Amino acid sequence: MTADQTGPVVRTPHGAVRGRYERGVAVFRGIPYAAPPFGPRRFRPPRSPEPWDGVRDAGAFGPTAPKPPYSEAFAPYLSDPVIPGDDCLNLNVWTPEPGPGARLPVLVWLHGGALTRGSSAVPVYDGSAFARDGVVCVSVNYRLGVEGYGLFPDAPPNPGLRDQLAALCWVHETIEAFGGDPGRITLCGQSAGAISAGALLAAPRTQGLVRRAVLQSGPPEVLDREKVRRMVRRMATRLRIPATAEAFAAVDRELLLRTQAEAGRLSSPVLGGPAFGIVVDGDLVPRDPLKALTEGAAARDVELLMGWTRDEYRLWLVPGGLLERVDRLGAVALAGAMARCRAGHEIPRGYRALHPDAGTAEIVGQMVTDHVLRVPLHRLADARPGASYLYEFAWPSRLPGLGACHALELGFVFDTGGVPESKRLAGEGAPQELCDAMHGAWVRFATTGDPGWAAWDATHPVRVFGDGVPHTAYGPRDAEVALWLAAPALPEPPRPSVPRAPGAELAAAMRRLRRSVGTTLRR
């Protein structure tokens, strides 16, 4: 616990920490908010860390949660540092003014990564610009994959989400000592982080902890418990062990990660499949979060900033040449997307009419993006007019084929477009004026609840951040959303029990397409 004696010192509930002054702000990294989740605590809810004596050094990022690496197809685009160690339930704080009395707005960041990858140590998530502009920024590590979202008969569900709740409680209790206002906490996340933020907003146990929320490219949702169980059973079969937390806890950590990566290789954001995710558990998540939020039973007074990127799907389909493969598969890929979204033929016909020049991959990608993301966010905004603000990020990456893809907006939100890790998605030449505009909107929202454009109403205003000056469009996705609202979802098809049962041909096509996806993801 040797500390640099020149840095700022703040006392937390478990002991004092010493940070660093960097670029005019105070930074504290790797502060434990819960005990290491291993040994007897593995697959269990988080517990408070052991208090420490003296001053703990908080100059470096703490350990990251166990996770497999990105495949060769995705690694060139996405940074995901690995920091070894058991004490992975930690967080980081950037503040312009440590110490009580400042009472500045607070932004708590939950990273994305499909609940299987990512961490708070990704350089794109550096919170210095928020602190520079008067917002205390906190970023959080939480358990991932089977460690955080495996479903077992002998352990409580959702330990990763419970980690996030523990971190949020730590912030509410402690952030005043770092210059923050516990009454002005904005919970913010992207992709899986946004899904997590939505689940926490709807959780009865978080009421009063959050003043505002930002959902970037992720709606409030839960997974079907059977899909999660199938992932656990796949792993258990490969490991030749029972599908219990006790048996999984005895497995070597690296072997468990390799097995998780192999079991999940056929899952895809476009085609679905077994996956790890948040489930209704009757406790922290008592019901579907989207229903709870749209029906007004939760977080009634929380202001929302929500949105998407124009070409979300291109991050899922461009790496490894999958975009071209989907175009070649044609009707098979379209049928797979229809099955994924439980959509009738009127949906792709409607998209063809709206986008007559689009190829199959674009139709598939936009259909799935609308179904899993834009339609739920529209529904949530419709349920909270006057307190919801929507945006679309439309600036295209300078790298071939990516367009305005999933996660591209992150360097603009954090004003970290100049770091090498942001350029892995954006390429060279990301406009600083767009960084200023988007980051400024997030700062205004965290500070006042108003990002700088009209709140959602019957005209459906959406702030578009693209080439040129940001502008407000009215109902830019209404035609596509209307297709889904007009056509009721089909029921989940039963899994065929014999080779020639109804739907067997489609099921076989889906398996072929998932194998194609899996081959790409392994590269």
In 52-141, DSSP assigns E strands to: 55-57, 90-95, 104-110, 136-140
Selected catalytic residue, list 176, 312, 362, 392: 312
d(CA 44, CA 41): 5
User: If you compute the radius of gyration of the chain from its CA atoms, what whole number of angstroms results?
Assistant: 22
Query: Residue 312 catalytic?
Result: yes
d(CA 358, CA 481): 18
Q: In the sheet where 15-18 sits, what is the strand order?
A: 9-12, 15-18, 55-57
Q: In the sheet where 303-309 sits, what is the strand order?
A: 20-22, 25-32, 90-95, 136-140, 104-110, 180-190, 212-216, 303-309, 388-393, 461-465, 471-474
Query: Residue 191 catalytic?
Result: yes
Terminal C-alpha separation, the chain: 41
Q: Within 13 A of 47's CA, how many CA atoms are on the CB side?
A: 12
Residues linked to residue 22 through DSSP beta bridges, in sequence order: 25
Q: How far is CA 502 from CA 56, 271, 346, 496, 508, in A?
A: 63, 20, 21, 7, 11
In degrees, rounded to 5, the angle at the alpha carbon of residue 319 between the alpha carbons of residues 435 and 392 is: 35
Following DSSP, what letter does each residue of 214-269 receive, concatenated? EEES--S----HHHHHHHHHHHHHHHTS-SSHHHHHTS-HHHHHHHHHHHTTT-BT
Strands 104-110 and 25-32, bridge-based pairing: unpaired
Q: Is the dihedral of CA 36, 38, 41, 43 positive or negative?
A: positive
Selected catalytic residue, list 111, 406, 439, 460: 406
d(CA 223, CA 225): 6
Q: Within 13 A of 18's CA, how many CA atoms are on the CB side?
A: 12
Selected catalytic residue, list 191, 196, 217, 422: 191
* Residues with active-site annotation: 191, 312, 406
